[in-house]
Structure 1
Amino acid sequence: MQCEQVTPKSYPVNLIDKDWSERKLYFWSPAKSFPAMIHDMEVKEDDVWIVTNPKCGTTWMQELAWLLLNDCDFEAALSKDLELRSPFLEFDFMVNSDEQTALERVEELPSPRLIKSHLPLPLLPRQLWEKKAKVIYVFRNPKDAWVSGYYHGVTIGYNYGKTLEQFFDECLEQESDRRYIIEHAAEFYQLRNEPWFYYTSFERMKCNLRAVVEDLCKFLDKTVTEQQMERLLKHLSFEEMKKNPTTNHLWESTQIKLENGGKEVHNFVRKGKVNGYKDDLTPKQIEKADNFIAERLLLNQVTLEELLLVDKL
């Protein structure tokens, strides 16, 4: 997909310690005035936002958060696609490029709204950091996220006919949002101690999902019984998520109409492994990715262990 560099109307200068002058930001092309529309959109005080880089456990966290916000109504969750219960902020514009309707599904959603976005901090609504609505952030090892993104892109169509090696080279070398995966996470990581912000990782969810559920209950002011907890853990297991049609983005796939879409299909919930990239990447690709990640980590004065919450695994 083609991206173009954009400049937001303002930066969250009073939120984190950051020199924004060198930060490169990208949006799908043609971006038109949609980034400005997002910047100015109304945020409700009871909104809950889930923000991630793509393929970092977003869907997993969405399903968990939606169930907690809706009193563990599993029947409702199983009867309606997740994308319709918790819309993806950028999706409609990405598919249709229509500014007039791009935010309709988000704006029409009843409160409390659970909204998903992959946008970096400066491109999110200004009111988000002014009103301090609740934000949940999930990070994942970039190598796993990129591999998962490759296979998803093959299914959708925009990676069809492209090798994993070609895709990885694009991630590391081409100017796009994928190249700034560490910046995306490091900026949110600075907010981890704010009372309106919850930061976690895919790896921590895999290691101790119960602890993450307990954390989120406190964060969202919700309680669950032990019976509900057991059902949550089963419902959110890899095996259940993989066979659940409402969490495999089947609705979204009907909206994206690319020429090569569906010619090669990989399940949206594909492997769900920590360090699964080792099954797909060559030692040379891993070394190249590690060097790139190390460089970005150094520039952002953070370690991968910190971003992955290794001390909590």
Structure 2
Amino acid sequence: MVLIRGTYFQTTRSHTEDTIGRTYNLETRDDDVFLLSYPRTGTTWTQNIMLALKHDTEFLKTVTDGEQLAHHFTFLELVSHFFSEPVDVRVARQSSPRFFKTHLPVQAAPKEIIEKKRKCVFVFRNPKDAVISFHKFYHSNKRIDPPESFDSFVQDFLSGTVNYGDYWQWCKEWFKHINSNPELCFFMFYEELLVDFETNVRNLGKFLGFEPSDEKLADIKKATSIESMANRIQIFDSFIGQGQSKSYEKKLSKEIIDEFDKKTKDELSDTGYVDKFLV
């Protein structure tokens, strides 16, 4: 692990002082939209939804792998993984409006998000399911060293010594920005998206300046279902989970669940949404 701008990263050619520094200092535009999420909390699902809102579900048929997804929805700190040029050089050529994705915490994300008050979309997920999905990702992603065991990974997650750092601090610090700038920020919870897709996506569309019809919402729901994305996206196993909630009930012990819940209550009560993190 390396520590860059106060954040832990796995040692890869993407997560370096140069790439994180270029992302932090990125020049942004007034109509840029940033999707921010901690890893394994519904990011790829939300990307597909946002692209369908911006274009249509026919457009999604062209998004068949990680490179295509990154081309239309730039993964800022991993640009060098997909393309042979620095992030600031690549995005400068992109036409507006641009959609950007990042997992970076406040202290490492593009500083102009806050300084110039850019529009942001956030997706959150309860940490007990996030840790299970993150552990699976560690094993499926060949660029990341796998943990010794599931139990050791859970302890690393609790201590914040995993890729992208402490989950609770990530959520806590971004929620300070959300609560201070409600007109600039839209957020939703993975669990609520599973239960009421239409309401959440309709509200997301309004925030982005789109007014999806009932017919378009139905098309988006079908096109971004787990089954549909599994058939379309070649990177499905690595980047998309099973679309489930409360899988932790079968995977985590009562003691670990209690430890997670205590930390969530201690760290996230000030967000105003702690109950949503405890589902």
User: Normalising to structure 1: TM-score of the pair?
Assistant: 0.76
Could you say which residue in structure 2 is the equivalent of 1:79?
62
Q: Show the 5 A alignment for 1:1-313.
A: 2-6=1-5, 24-27=6-9, 29=11, 31-70=16-55, 72=56, 74-80=57-63, 81-93=68-80, 95=81, 101-157=86-142, 158-160=144-146, 162-173=148-159, 175-176=161-162, 179-190=165-176, 191-192=178-179, 194-245=182-233, 249=235, 266=237, 268-297=239-268, 304-305=274-275
2:125–2:190 contact (8 Å) kept in structure 1: yes
Instruction: Using the TM superposition, give the Cα deviation of residue 232 of structure 1 relative to its aligned residue in structure 2, in angstroms.
Output: 1.0
Change in Cα spacing, 1:150 to 1:130, as seen in structure 2 (3 Å) is same
**Alignment RMSD:** 2.8
After alignment, is 266-275 or 113-122 more displaced?
A: 266-275
Deviation per CA, 1:11-54, whole angstroms, max 9, x where unpaired? Answer: xxxxxxxxxxxxx5345557324333222211111111100000
Asked if 1 retains the 8 angstrom alpha-carbon contact of 2:27 and 2:88, the reply is no
Deviation at 1:69, TM superposition (A): 1.8
Moved more, 236-245 or 26-35: 26-35
Tell whether the 8 Å contact from 2:175 to 2:271 is kept in structure 1 after alignment.
Answer: no
Q: Which runs of 4+ in 1 moved over 4 A?
A: 27-30, 176-179, 300-303
Instruction: Tell me what 1:253 maps to.
Output: none
Secondary structure, counterpart of 1:242 in structure 2: helix
Distance (Å, rounded) in 2 between the aligned partners of 1:301 and 1:131: 23
Offset, 1:176:
4.7
| Mapped partners of 1:305, 1:198: distance in 2 | 18
Contact 1:4 1:176 in 2 (8 A): no
Q: Contact 2:160–2:167 (CA<8 Å) still a contact in 1? A: no
- Give the counterpart letter for 1:156 in structure 2: N
Name the CA distance, whole Å, in 2 between partners of 1:25 and 1:284: 28
**CA displacement at 1:137 relative to structure 2:** 0.5
Paired amino acid for 2:72? R
Aligned length: 269
Deviation at 1:279, TM superposition (A): 2.5
- Give a deviation string over 1:58-80, Cα, whole Å, max 9, x none: 1111111112122x2x2222113
Tell me the distance in 2 between the aligned counterparts of 1:176 and 1:225: 41
> Are the structure 2 counterparts of residues 107 and 279 from structure 1 closer, same or farther at C-alpha, using a change threshold of 3 Å?
farther
- Aligned equivalents of 2:122, 2:114: Cα separation in 1: 14
Secondary structure in 2 matching 1:137:
strand
Looking at structure 1, the residues matched to 22 and 238 of structure 2 have their Cα atoms a distance apart, in angstroms, of: 33
Structure 1: give runs of 5+ residues left out of the alignment. Answer: 7-23, 251-265
Q: Output the CA distance in 2 between the equivalents of 1:153 and 1:104.
A: 29
User: Kindly tell me: are residues 150 and 27 of structure 1, through their superposed partners in 2, closer, same or farther at Cα, counting changes over 3 Å?
Assistant: closer
The residue type equivalent to 2:274 in the other structure is: L
**Separation in 2 of the partners of 1:288 and 1:61?**
29
Q: Is the 8 A contact 2:129 2:245 kept in 1?
A: yes
Deviation at 1:159, TM superposition (A): 4.9
User: Equivalents in 2 of 1:165, 1:195: separation in Å?
Assistant: 41
State the distance in 2 between where 1:169 and 1:108 align: 42
Any idea what SS the aligned residue of 2:17 has?
A: coil
Q: Which moved further from structure 2: 235-244 or 25-34?
A: 25-34
CA contact (8 A) 1:106 1:115 kept: no
* C-alpha separation in 1, matches of 2:113 and 2:159: 31
Q: 1:88 Cα shift?
A: 0.8
Superposition TM-score, scaled by structure 2 size: 0.84
Q: Cα distance 1:307–1:121, how it changes in 2: closer, same or farther (>3 A)?
A: farther
Q: Structure 2 unaligned runs (5+)?
A: none
Secondary structure of the 1:273 match is coil
